[in-house]
Structure 1
Amino acid sequence: MVELRTVSTQPYNDQKPGTSGLRKRVKVFQQQNYTENFIQAVMETIEGGSKGATLVVGGDGRYYLDEVMQIIIKFSVAAGIKKLIVPQHGLVSTPAGSHLIRKNKTTGGILLTASHNPGGPDKDFGIKYNVRNGGPAPENVTNKIFDISKSLKKLTYADLPDRVDYSQIGSQKIGDMEIQVIDGIDDYVALMKEIFDFDAIRCFLQTNKDTFKLLFDGMHGVTGIYGERLFVKEFGLPKEESLMRSTPLSDFGGEHPDPNLTYAHELVERVEKEKIDFGAASDGDGDRNMVLGKNAFVTPSDSVAVIAHYAREAIPYFRKNGINGLARSMPTSRALDLVAEKQQLEHFEVPTGWKFFGNLMDAGRCSICGEESFGTGSDHVREKDGVWAILEHYKIYGRNFFTRYDYEEVDSEAANNLIQGLRDLNIVGKNFDGFIVSDVEDFEYRDPIDGSVSSHQGMIVKFKDGSRFVVRLSGTGAQGATIRLYIEKYSNNPSEYATDTQQALEPLIRVALDISRLKQYTGREKPTVIT
């Protein structure tokens, strides 16, 4: 018999989860009852009620994961949860967790991750609630969680004398609740076999093992264990030569697990030095990816466009099911739009946040989607693909030169003032070093599925030649504000396709910094990260 305890608590006023869940510094979560309050609020928000519900619970292995897992188990028992499905050691990538929710038809899941943010005692942690479609909780659910969190006065949990062990595969009972510990990789690999032609990939890699080099960087996040299963066990590649940083570590080896040219510099250097043909990196929880070759970095905006172009002929899943539509986030370059128009596919421009793609997928109107922040997905689960045919893509569609400048941990007031300054601009028709402004837009999205409206999603400054820049505040940071500046220029001049991205965009970057007054507002001479 498990004894339940009810204790008093004081609410916190800063527990509003975003699309990516609640992200804070570890020390914030370690405040008295801070994590407990949020988990209690989630339990009281579960669709259909918590009694009899089944949840998937796991995370990316970052610091503080086990402590929060134990809290979730105690509160789940008290809330009447029927069953928790827990990947072995609590390790699961975000896309694999989403698949487990869908495959097992569970009520939802709690994913413990701060994605690409750094981990460790002084770094970041995150808790994300996913609903039964496997996607992040929509805004009406996160608003309910927040409302409950602001008025909590008591907590109820199971008084368990010992830590619950989830290191061994099998089932155990805690009171009336079952905990089923599973291999967290098997189901994901099985799904990948339904999507991709594993025999063809294996044959290619083995036939060309002396001439084609592949290197996957797990960045000491959770995807290292998936990479080892796929590239070593399934495709027969040597671990030492094909994988780097594949062991999950609670602090990601002291590095920032964000797969871009700045934070994945070790991979970038090895690809260049060792003449690697195909390099790839994934972030802490496996929902972002970077692709590069020995001669080119493939921007995420290009990779999703290439995947969409070749999907029917190169990916068995799409040969069988076809493509219903394409979608990209608003800041992502318009390369995907060109593919959609040429292939006569419906396409959508949505705010940043995977939940907007989820609505379109659930309605059968989107098959492939992507964000410039290194995330590529489809209506089954996130995928990444080798895109060494990138130069052929430019010949067909032209090239969208694209870059992103990140200014991290900026003073929040200064960041908000910058956005308001852009809203107040009256510059349509003005000429800035040859770039004539055609429109200034405060992006708003009306969801074609549920009719909901998402306002103030980012400022877009458009020019008559088709160029544009976007400024938005990111909600994925755990401290201060992150300002993201996106700059895009389209060219259908083949003589420009091989031009370095920063060189091609340099005049437009100067104009964007001038119009936005970003340096003046932030006091920063240069961005934290350039991608």
Structure 2
Amino acid sequence: MNNLEQLREWKNAPTKDKILAKGLKKINEKNVDKFFGETMTFGTAGIRGILGPGTNMINEFTIAAAAYAYGATLVKQSELVKKMGLVIAHDNRSNGALFAEITAKVFDHLGIKTYIFKNNEMAATPLLSYAIRKLRAAGGVNITASHNPKEYNGFKVYNAQGAQLLPELTVKISKLMSRMNFLKVPYGLFNPTFISPTLQEDYIKDVLSIRKRPNDSKKLIVVYSALNGTGSHIAPTLFQKMDIEYYAVKQEVVEDATFKGLKSCNPEDEAAYNRAIKLAKKKKADIIILTDPDADRVGLAVRGPLGSYKKINGNQTGAIVLNHILRTKQYNKEGYIAQSVVSGNVTKEMAKRHNLSIHETHVGFKNIARVILDNPEGLVMGYEESFGQLMDPEIARDKDAFQGLVMLVEAANYLKTQNMSLLDELERIGVMYGVHTSTQLSKQIEQNDVQTLLDRVGDILTIGKFDVSDVLDFRKEEIMGLENATLVKVILENGSWFAVRPSGTEPKVKVYIETVGATKKETEKTIKQITSTINEIVSGLKKEYKSPKAKAAEVKETKKAAEVIAPIEKTEREMLAEQRAQFEREMKEAESKQEQVPATQEVEEEPVPEFSVETISPIPAEKTPSQLDPKQIQKTKEIKLQEQRKTQEVKTKPEETKEQ
């Protein structure tokens, strides 16, 4: 079936998806390939994309296919899945409630019991994970695109532990989905079991139980934004129960699929803090807390001494939380931290200082969850640089913005009782564990250039004054016991590092950088040097390339050649010097003989040409020894000597005749 035939079929298929129906009307034979030229595939975390018509966009039919592939794969593994059931959640995004309903109908056809939050209202990712664990379900689905722009939605899948599915299972789901006709997915009835509101109340109690200093006096002032997402159902209650003075950004604690007035719903972006900063300045708030739309990540900004607000990155928030936990000494002394290989090293330094084990994983919190599965009791903190944290894995097995919120607020409040801020805390951490500065870059790049870029990153020998001490190319071999991955990490001799990996959803690569130094200025200088090197590599991808190693080899060969030439030049110079010295000696001997002629002899006074070294033109400064001819110099010397001897013979010959 060609793309035009597919289009006709899709236009004739009934749908409740208004975005899909509207989009189909705009497709014609000229642009049909854009919508039906590729097929949505089930990735390691499910599917995610732009809402719209066609086989490669998010709509009712692609969601239904994903739901069927997921449900059927689980049932094939075990019939118990039908009885245990699957939990379904969605955030504030367009079609979230509709897609949750479609998913429930597909599961019903497969004979799987379904759980949905009361009235099919939005629910946070960590609450979904908590529900799976509490209800002892076989898994779950979250209809979300997390922090992506408003045009996106997705389908994220979970296992019975409340963690995202691992590749072993997603590969099977992907194979099944790739064989499906998206329009032929059978539906059952929408007949879910609605989850009681008491489950959310229990979740809030459990999150509050992770506090280390619940009895501290409360001095902190907080501004909060849910970025129009699910956080508005839980965060206000947490603030109230912690007795923290807080002010909500009114436009951003209401459910809104359009994210009206928001330039970004990603806590990593400065633009996400615009409204919150305005309110914080009015209220003189100490900190700003943001949760992204599905509330798996928490963002933080801190008031400085002059009243401006500084956004704190994910590595810094991880360091603040871990330092707070360690300071209270309320943790498993034989425990561990778990973090991704692109997260900062300062937390590792903290863990070493306190004799905690360190587990590094590939990017994706599902990999941290796999570590936790083997030893849940020992976890002190799991985190990723992308603002994801988890302290209590019995509550959830995915990133939990609310656990992060509680720890950050408690740490900031404690510090305020000591007349300090979180900025002061970061300064102190720098003194104790070294100054670490981290940042991220995103570079647009064609997919077929990714491997070339990674190869050239692996060729780097130096950055500024620092040599490369190690290159971890996860494409070529298992490193640290981790599976192969499209990631290259370069480590410098001073402990700074940077890593490059392609984005899973966009034509770009992400560059993670962390530098170490005695001062912040020093670390920022190294960041600039790394950035410049990456920019140079990206801009030169289409140009002729010679690796630094090849260039170094050429330089080495040039030096060797110079070492061979140098002795030759030295010998020529010595030869010329010896020739001149010899010539001077012979001239002096000739003069000495002439002075010894007997006084009685009358010698005809004729001018004797004087030949000495000065009569030979000196070597021009611009000429090198290799440009002179030693044979010619020797010949000139012999001619001069012969002329002098002839002159002497002429003077002495008449006297000898007269005596005879």
* Residue 367 of structure 1 pairs with residue 380 of structure 2: yes
Can you list the C-alpha shifts for 1:178-234, whole angstroms capped at 9, x where unaligned? 44454663232121122126843xx633xx2xxx42111211121122222222465
1:13–1:149 Cα contact (<8 Å) kept: no
1:494-513 superposed matches below 5 A: 496-497=519-520, 499=521, 505-513=527-535
**Which has the larger share of helix?**
2
1:15–1:146 Cα contact (<8 Å) kept: no
Match of 1:332 among 343, 346, 354: 343
Distance 1:17 1:481, change over 3 A: same
Q: C-alpha distance in 2, partners of 1:260/1:273?
A: 23
1:281 shift after superposition? 1.2
Q: C-alpha distance in 2, partners of 1:464/1:343?
A: 24
Q: C-alpha distance in 1, partners of 2:251/2:507?
A: 32
AA aligned to 2:356 is: L
Distance 1:401 1:243, change over 3 A: farther
1:473: which partner in 2?
Answer: 502
Distance 1:204 1:425, change over 3 A: closer
1:24: which partner in 2?
Answer: 49
Q: C-alpha distance in 2, partners of 1:130/1:40?
A: 15
Distance 1:291 1:348, change over 3 A: same
Match of 1:403 among 439, 442, 450: 439
- Aligned to 1:355, the other structure's residue is in SS state helix
1:3: which partner in 2?
Answer: none
2:485: which partner in 1?
Answer: 456
1:95–1:287 Cα contact (<8 Å) kept: yes
Distance 1:463 1:58, change over 3 A: same
1:58–1:87 Cα contact (<8 Å) kept: no
AA aligned to 1:277 is: D
1:89-238 superposed matches below 5 A: 89-119=120-150, 123-152=151-180, 154-158=184-188, 160=189, 174=191, 178-180=193-195, 182=197, 185-196=200-211, 199-200=214-215, 204-205=217-218, 208=219, 212-232=220-240, 235=243, 237=245
1:418 shift after superposition? 3.7
- Aligned to 1:263, the other structure's residue is in SS state helix
1:310 shift after superposition? 2.7
2:164–2:366 Cα contact (<8 Å) kept: yes
Match of 1:277 among 276, 283, 286: 286
Q: C-alpha distance in 2, partners of 1:522/1:63?
A: 40
1:151 shift after superposition? 1.8
* Residue 319 of structure 1 pairs with residue 330 of structure 2: yes
Can you list the C-alpha shifts for 1:325-362, whole angstroms capped at 9, x where unaligned? 11211111211110111111110221101111011111
Can you list the C-alpha shifts for 1:288-337, whole angstroms capped at 9, x where unaligned? 112221124432112213322331554xxx82655621121111121111
1:421 shift after superposition? 3.0
AA aligned to 1:107 is: A
Unaligned runs of 5+ in 1: 1-6, 165-173, 524-531
1:131 shift after superposition? 0.4
Can you list the C-alpha shifts for 1:369-388, whole angstroms capped at 9, x where unaligned? 21111112232443213252
Q: C-alpha distance in 2, partners of 1:509/1:256?
A: 24
- Aligned to 2:92, the other structure's residue is in SS state coil
Distance 1:97 1:462, change over 3 A: same
1:286: which partner in 2?
Answer: 295
Q: C-alpha distance in 2, partners of 1:247/1:405?
A: 32
1:228–1:246 Cα contact (<8 Å) kept: no
**Which has the larger share of strand?**
1
Q: C-alpha distance in 2, partners of 1:135/1:447?
A: 24
1:363 shift after superposition? 0.7
1:432 shift after superposition? 4.2
Q: C-alpha distance in 2, partners of 1:482/1:406?
A: 7
1:83–1:180 Cα contact (<8 Å) kept: no
Unaligned runs of 5+ in 2: 1-12, 14-35, 305-309, 412-421, 544-660
Q: C-alpha distance in 2, partners of 1:143/1:265?
A: 38
AA aligned to 1:508 is: I
Identity %: 21
1:433–1:511 Cα contact (<8 Å) kept: no
1:25 shift after superposition? 0.9
TM-score normalised over the length of structure 2: 0.65
* Residue 256 of structure 1 pairs with residue 264 of structure 2: yes
AA aligned to 2:507 is: A
Can you list the C-alpha shifts for 1:96-155, whole angstroms capped at 9, x where unaligned? 211111122111111111111012xxx111101100000001111111110111222553
1:40-119 superposed matches below 5 A: 40-46=68-74, 47-49=77-79, 50-119=81-150
2:63–2:99 Cα contact (<8 Å) kept: yes
1:40–1:75 Cα contact (<8 Å) kept: yes
Distance 1:244 1:502, change over 3 A: farther
Can you list the C-alpha shifts for 1:33-78, whole angstroms capped at 9, x where unaligned? 3222111111102252342232211111211112111211211221
- Aligned to 2:267, the other structure's residue is in SS state coil
1:216–1:244 Cα contact (<8 Å) kept: no
Greater RCO structure (CA 8 Å; 6+ sep): 1
1:507 shift after superposition? 3.0
Q: C-alpha distance in 2, partners of 1:500/1:252?
A: 40
CA RMSD of the aligned region, Å?
3.2
1:529: which partner in 2?
Answer: none
1:432-451 superposed matches below 5 A: 432-443=463-474
Larger radius of gyration: 2
- Aligned to 2:454, the other structure's residue is in SS state helix
Can you list the C-alpha shifts for 1:478-530, whole angstroms capped at 9, x where unaligned? xx323211121112x2xx24x5975663233223333xx2245599xxxxxxx
2:473–2:488 Cα contact (<8 Å) kept: yes
- Aligned to 1:45, the other structure's residue is in SS state helix
Q: C-alpha distance in 1, partners of 2:156/2:144?
A: 7
1:169: which partner in 2?
Answer: none
Distance 1:423 1:441, change over 3 A: farther
AA aligned to 1:518 is: V
AA aligned to 1:483 is: V
